[in-house]
Structure 1
Amino acid sequence: MRLTRSLRRTVLIGLSAATLAAGSTAPAQADGIGWQLTPTGSDARFRGLAAVSHTTAWAAGSKGTVLRTVDGGRSWRNVSPPGAAELQFRDIEAFDTRRAVVLAIGEGEASRVFRTEDGGATWTESFRNTDPRAFYDCITFFDRRHGLAMSDPVDGKYRILSTSDGGQIWKVLPTEGMPSAQTGEAGFAASGQCLVSSGPRHVWLATGGGATARVLHSSDRGLTWTAAEATIPAGDPARGVFALAFRDSRHGIAVGGDYRPDQESPRAAATSRDGGRTWTQSRRPPTAYRSGVTWLPHHRSAAIAVGPTGSDVSTDAGRTWRTFDKGSFDTVDCTSDRSCWASGEKGRIARLSRH
């Protein structure tokens, strides 16, 4: 979304299997979890984050910056694409220590996609938007080859890019199966989580800015979509669903609110148990706007949400949340080997550790 270019960050978190017991009702502080900041040597704002394993993670942010660690965050290497200093990276998808795809956002040619196959030593620009009406916000991959990128509405409908070769070639999908956008509706390029996927074919798109916040769902890799209203307030360009997380094709969490620091964000979280067809307001949502969310690995009901004013944990699949940290983060990601990462402003990248 054009009004949210400055939004985003990346946080790095490591989580042991016992850190959060599914169904636990103890407050997060009692669980002894917290962020452990890692030295990045950067002042960029990292709204793009791709956690690969407990040792490897990638972060993408302002001033065309891409960082990579292969030692669990003890050190970060600047692997930014040459000549990208004027670009704003807001999303990154990585497959291992060597292969990654990064999205730059903005109007017209500011929206670009780069890919690397050698750990960032060299980059190839694989897509540059030439339509001044398009503004790309997020990317997601179903597997190492198949992925999508989404733009704010063009001619009244969201525009979807598709790749089937790991991001080397992108094509615009037809819009016949895309519902019409509401007046003023768009996506938020705040955390790289406005377009998320689960499994080989399911993908969801988060919206705001229109009369109602919505979540769009496709079960055929973006060819056809259905739209559902979320309970998170909208009706203003600064409000709506900012991030989604699905642990499978049915169970999802949405977070958002109003990103302006002087505005309250009631009802800032919602849950779905039917693949995004319906959404239920969280009984006790986070107390403020949240821009990123993720399920914790190998836990059916534990999740973390992050935002500029703090981080929250849920142990009941997003129905209730408790704040465990007051630091600023934009996005969060976890891996199948039980590690989690998060990132944000002023070069902040952290690991979730157990005290």
Structure 2
Amino acid sequence: MHCKYYRLVSGIIVLILMLTGCGNWQPTGADNNLTSQSSASLNGNNTFPSSQKNMSSTLSLGALSNLTSIHMINAMTGWALSQGSLLRTINGGVSWTNVTPKGVVSTSEGTLSAYDAQTIWVVFNKESSTSITVYRTTDGGQKWESAEINTTPWYGRVTSLDFFDLTHGWLLASYDVSMGVESVEVFQTNDSGASWKSNASAIIGQKPSNALPLAGSKNGLVFSNQKNGWLTGFSHGDGIWLYSSSDEGRTWSQKTIVTPKGYHTDGGAVSTEPPHFFNQKEGVLPVEFRGEKPPAFVFYRTEDWGLSWTPTTPVQTANKSQEYRGFHWSIIDSTHAFVSDGYQLYFTSDGSHSFVSVTPNISLAKLQQLDFTSEKLGWAIIDGGLWRTMDGGHTWVQI
């Protein structure tokens, strides 16, 4: 009764304000979004320059398709991205609610950083745009705040977004890719995403700043704490491609990684992927040796803040004649993880020193992502559709 009464009174007050022109109410249509008119990289405020409320809607049966990524926080709550949409579940993926910020184009590709069940940051890349919009929610997608980053004259596309706490975050903007080089810029926020500043850039035709590499294709930017960051990818040169920063992403240096005996790193045969840190000292670095026959996947481990990385037991495709399908993995904690080569699942419970093979009841040929929250419970995106397992990957059921 109290809830119904409150809503009725609130509705009357809102109607009076709208009719009298008082307050600061704005149209809620998608074409009338509140957006910041100034670049967030120049905005020193500690509050977001723009905010909006979102009218979420539950997806109908069969609407969950064309997924690009999933990020489960725990067994019940998580986030997922499809083309131009952000989805949220609170029942283990059985049903999903569309919580996309208003004004996002349906064809936009999204990148997100999920902090917990209520708080995430997300970017939807805009075609041929010289600005980047960073959205944040702290209430599960009901209300959104946004800030703009001006990238003029470059068309920016965010390829990595990372927050290691509620305040400090980084994003990697890609501007151009050409003949083995990629123009990129690293942005940082110290106020939860309300404002952003450029820390370093490498632009084709310009002198790279602060040793940020121009050569190579970059695929990830991750920070283990406020100071130490990692830039991953691959190049057409020899060696394992990895750069690190110890000053919040302002200067960068190349790391030397030991190659396992019997493996080669010639001409872009190796790709590093963003590391996962369990704490500031311990973490794993996924490395894919695509030039081997058969291809192999290795978790490198660090126990000294990333000063050194040691390879663990490789996961290899069982049959040399099988086509390369790419590796996918999900890290549960410091000792448990799953890896797939597109044929089998492999599980480790001892920090990647050994793996056991798991044969699933479905084909993994079009596997896009794995996401496990425990040794038994996990999700997979296969050809845009969502599947769930409750027995460690043996049996999968489509959601």
TM-score (normalizing by structure 1): 0.69
**Residue by residue, what CA displacement relative to the aligned partner does 1:89-139 show, whole Å, maximum 9, x if unpaired?**
1x3222333322113357752854322334223444423544436442111
Tell me if structure 2 keeps the 8 A contact 1:162–1:170: yes
Q: Show the counterpart of 2:173.
A: 151
TM-superposed deviation, 1:257: 4.5
Gap change, CA 1:165 and 1:350, over 3 Å in 2: farther
Inter-partner Cα distance in structure 2 for 1:282 and 1:100:
32
Gap change, CA 1:265 and 1:44, over 3 Å in 2: farther
Determine if the alignment matches structure 1 residue 255 to structure 2 residue 280. no
Determine if the alignment matches structure 1 residue 346 to structure 2 residue 384. yes
**Residue by residue, what CA displacement relative to the aligned partner does 1:40-60 show, whole Å, maximum 9, x if unpaired?**
73222323x333222210012
Inter-partner Cα distance in structure 2 for 1:215 and 1:345:
30
TM-superposed deviation, 1:342: 4.6
Task: Flag structure 2 segments of 5+ consecutive residues without an equivalent.
Answer: 1-60, 202-207, 318-323, 395-399
- Secondary structure of the residue aligned to 2:384 is helix
Within the candidate set 119, 124, 129, 2:140 is matched to: 119
Q: Show the counterpart of 2:192.
A: 166
TM-superposed deviation, 1:77: 1.3
Gap change, CA 1:67 and 1:316, over 3 Å in 2: same
**1:64-83 paired onto structure 2 within 5 Å:** 64-82=84-102, 83=104
Q: Show the counterpart of 1:60.
A: 81
Identity in percent: 22
**Residue by residue, what CA displacement relative to the aligned partner does 1:189-228 show, whole Å, maximum 9, x if unpaired?**
xxxxx22333454332211133133222334432343322
- Secondary structure of the residue aligned to 1:72 is coil
Gap change, CA 1:171 and 1:345, over 3 Å in 2: farther
Within the candidate set 230, 235, 245, 2:267 is matched to: 235
Gap change, CA 1:285 and 1:307, over 3 Å in 2: closer
Determine if the alignment matches structure 1 residue 132 to structure 2 residue 154. yes
Gap change, CA 1:239 and 1:337, over 3 Å in 2: closer
AA aligned to 1:272 is: R
Q: What RMSD in Å do the two structures reach over aligned CA positions?
A: 3.8
Gap change, CA 1:186 and 1:111, over 3 Å in 2: farther
AA aligned to 2:313 is: R
Inter-partner Cα distance in structure 2 for 1:201 and 1:161:
14
Aligned residues: 302
Gap change, CA 1:209 and 1:144, over 3 Å in 2: same
Gap change, CA 1:352 and 1:216, over 3 Å in 2: farther
Gap change, CA 1:66 and 1:153, over 3 Å in 2: closer
**Residue by residue, what CA displacement relative to the aligned partner does 1:257-280 show, whole Å, maximum 9, x if unpaired?**
549xxx966233241324444444
Q: Which has the larger radius of gyration?
A: 2
**1:190-209 paired onto structure 2 within 5 Å:** 194-209=220-235
TM-score (normalizing by structure 2): 0.62
| Higher RCO (CA 8 Å, separation ≥ 6 residues) | 1
- Secondary structure of the residue aligned to 1:235 is helix
Tell me if structure 1 keeps the 8 A contact 2:230–2:244: yes
Determine if the alignment matches structure 1 residue 84 to structure 2 residue 105. yes
Within the candidate set 333, 340, 352, 1:318 is matched to: 352
